[in-house]
Structure 1
Amino acid sequence: MGRHLVAGAHDLDDRSREVPGVTTAPKKATPKAGTARRDYDRRKKRAPIRKSGRPFWRQPLLLGVIVLLLGCGGGGGWWAWHEGWLVEAQNRIDAASRAVVGAITPFKLADVTVEGRDYVERSAILAALNVSRGDSLLGIDLQASRRRLEAIDWVEWATVERRLPDTLYVILKERRAVAIWQNGNEYTLIDKNGRTVRASRMPPGAESLLLLGGPGAPEHVGDLLLLLTYEPAVSRQLRAAVWVGQRRWNLVLNNGVEIWLPEEDAVAALQQLAKLDGQHKLLSREFGVVDLRLPDKLYLRKRNTGEPTPGPA
């Protein structure tokens, strides 16, 4: 065990020998005791070199330069981004990349398939996609196409996919039509938010949709739908609604009875009518007009009498 921990005398002698081919640096002469003492005293008398106690970030001049550079760089970067230069450059790079990819790939557009289209015209979809037969399928910007499709009023959301080797596949979720607005001789589909669209064809079941009339009716259809939720019995019989004087509704039931609602407190007036109808069956009798425009009063007019209706216009 001991021979592994303590080197023998012959080992020390071998290590002290010169290695052939390697020049050994000469040993420095050991200074005499007096000389060493004088050198020590001389070094002791020298003024010590001290490092500054401040870190570099507390040096005023250096800190000012750093702040100036950062401010110029940050401000310049913000200006470039604000001015749209970086965005435009990135868009150009992306377009060039797609063009290069399209030029070297064999997949060419031959067909556009659209799923879920009922109201939006085909021409509006093709204009939003901005593609032509023979375009590179891989060069089409799918996200930009999707954003343009969703900018169409009638589109709630859209997805655009590549179907290799030659098809662009579009899925649309259209807003649901709740009414048809008659404006002169023109009929326009309306959704619950009052958005309008000129459809190339009426969807199945359009004949059962509520018919709206009067200038400005689409903008107030949301309020009308909310009003009808208070009296489902009236809502089930409703055939048409006319927005009158930009301030109130006239309701037309399936049997031809007209309900003239007031400008204010239309909910209370409709609830009063429903209560009276439950007691006297007003809406199923020979009356042609039920006038609720005056508070706490109800005027009835028989059908085809031509008599002026009491109360305000």
Structure 2
Amino acid sequence: MSAAPKKATANAAAPRRDYDRRKKRGPIRRTGRPLWRQPMLLGLAVLLLGGGAGGGWWAWREGWLVEVQNRIDAASRSIVGAITPFKLADVTVEGRDYVERSAILAALNVKPGDSLLGVDLQASRQRLEAIDWVAGATVERRLPDTLYVTLRERRAVALWQNGQEYTLIDRNGRTVRASRMPPGAESLLLLGGAGAPEHVGELLLLLAYEPALTRQLRAAVWVGQRRWNLVLNNGVEIWLPEEDAVAALQQLAKLEERHKLLSREYGVVDLRLPDKLYLRKRGPGDASSGPV
């Protein structure tokens, strides 16, 4: 009867020794590393506790999630700024004739020292193409420190004189105040009259019907918001009608071919009335010669 309790005591001691061994080894961890040696958790703890009691109270009051996110973002920016080897030092622009450099820099929205890898090339290109005089653009990184911009500008077809100011115009009537007059600007068609830029497309279409006359053209004046006066290189003025200007110009071309009207003593060729042509001699005070 006395052997039974001794056997029960021996069996009970075995699991106690196993428990002791587990206790000495410490709690089982899935990572195999102490929690205090895990950088991510340690960094989060530092961010949460870095503000001290005052910071903790502010985080609790304003929303601790917002505070944690702000601190993580700030730490990330600091780390990226410290380790990036590619900092912007120069912006190179190719193909710029009309657009102001300040407008390009404003569209790129960069400054020296910015991370070159952090520049959004697609967004930069879209902002550049939003500039009126830019038809297309590309933006590239040129490591280690350069942003390279290539512009395709709209081409000027005329120069509009408005008082003492001159403005370049493309074929769609867009205007631009150039930082400098590009080479060849003196050969552009000179426009005058209020509202002329908005009608330059119509003028170019009209002139396309008679290229021989177009080659002699020096200037065009938009008159009364309704019609054109053309001025040739030799000073002869052609007054076109408000309607059927193409037919009037074609009639003049035929007469010029037969009679050389534009190279004679006439200073004004008036085509404003249908089926009639008025010629005015050169010089002030000379009356027109009457209908032809």
Same fold at TM > 0.5: yes
The whole-number CA distance in structure 1 between the counterparts of 2:135 and 2:256 is: 40
Structure 1 counterpart of 2:139, one-letter code: V
The whole-number CA distance in structure 2 between the counterparts of 1:236 and 1:196 is: 24
Q: Secondary structure at the match of 1:162?
A: strand
When residues 295 and 129 of structure 1 are mapped into structure 2, their CA distance, relative to the original with a 3 A threshold, is same
Q: Does 1:158 align with 2:131?
A: no
When residues 150 and 245 of structure 1 are mapped into structure 2, their CA distance, relative to the original with a 3 A threshold, is same
When residues 126 and 280 of structure 1 are mapped into structure 2, their CA distance, relative to the original with a 3 A threshold, is same
Which stretches of structure 1, 4 residues or longer, exceed 2 Å deviation after superposition? 96-104, 305-311
- Structure 1 alignment gaps of length 5 or more: 1-95
Equivalent in 142, 155, 158 of residue 121 of structure 2 = 142
When residues 124 and 286 of structure 1 are mapped into structure 2, their CA distance, relative to the original with a 3 A threshold, is same
When residues 112 and 98 of structure 1 are mapped into structure 2, their CA distance, relative to the original with a 3 A threshold, is farther
- Cα offsets for 1:4-55 (capped at 9, x unmatched): xxxxxxxxxxxxxxxxxxxxxxxxxxxxxxxxxxxxxxxxxxxxxxxxxxxx
When residues 298 and 100 of structure 1 are mapped into structure 2, their CA distance, relative to the original with a 3 A threshold, is farther
The whole-number CA distance in structure 2 between the counterparts of 1:148 and 1:310 is: 58
The whole-number CA distance in structure 2 between the counterparts of 1:208 and 1:300 is: 28
Equivalent in 215, 220, 223 of residue 202 of structure 2 = 223
- Cα offsets for 1:93-143 (capped at 9, x unmatched): xxx999975553111111100010011111111111111111111111111
Structure 1 counterpart of 2:202, one-letter code: D
The whole-number CA distance in structure 2 between the counterparts of 1:230 and 1:138 is: 53
Report if the CA contact (8 A) 2:279-2:289 is conserved: no
Equivalent in 161, 164, 169 of residue 190 of structure 1 = 169
- Cα offsets for 1:183-237 (capped at 9, x unmatched): 1111000000000000001111111100000111011000000000100011000
The whole-number CA distance in structure 2 between the counterparts of 1:179 and 1:99 is: 52
- Aligned partner of 2:277 in structure 1 is 298
Q: Does 1:289 align with 2:268?
A: yes
How many residues align structurally? 217
When residues 98 and 261 of structure 1 are mapped into structure 2, their CA distance, relative to the original with a 3 A threshold, is farther
Q: Does 1:265 align with 2:244?
A: yes
When residues 125 and 97 of structure 1 are mapped into structure 2, their CA distance, relative to the original with a 3 A threshold, is farther
Report if the CA contact (8 A) 2:281-2:289 is conserved: no
Q: Secondary structure at the match of 1:306?
A: coil
- Aligned partner of 2:106 in structure 1 is 127
- 1:106-121 equivalences under 5 Å are 106-121=85-100
Structure 2 counterpart of 1:217, one-letter code: A
Q: Secondary structure at the match of 1:207?
A: helix
- Structure 2 alignment gaps of length 5 or more: 1-74
Report if the CA contact (8 A) 1:103-1:136 is conserved: no
Report the RMSD for the aligned CA atoms in angstroms.
Answer: 2.1
TM value normalised by structure 2: 0.71
- Aligned partner of 1:254 in structure 2 is 233
- Aligned partner of 2:178 in structure 1 is 199
Report if the CA contact (8 A) 1:99-1:139 is conserved: no
The whole-number CA distance in structure 2 between the counterparts of 1:293 and 1:99 is: 73
Q: Which moved more, 1:183-192 or 1:297-306?
A: 297-306
Q: CA deviation at 1:306?
A: 2.8
- Aligned partner of 1:280 in structure 2 is 259
Structure 1 counterpart of 2:140, one-letter code: E
Structure 2 counterpart of 1:293, one-letter code: R
Q: Which of the pair has more CA radius of gyration?
A: 1
- Aligned partner of 2:215 in structure 1 is 236
The whole-number CA distance in structure 2 between the counterparts of 1:244 and 1:194 is: 17
Equivalent in 148, 164, 169 of residue 169 of structure 1 = 148
Structure 2 counterpart of 1:277, one-letter code: E
Equivalent in 105, 109, 113 of residue 84 of structure 2 = 105
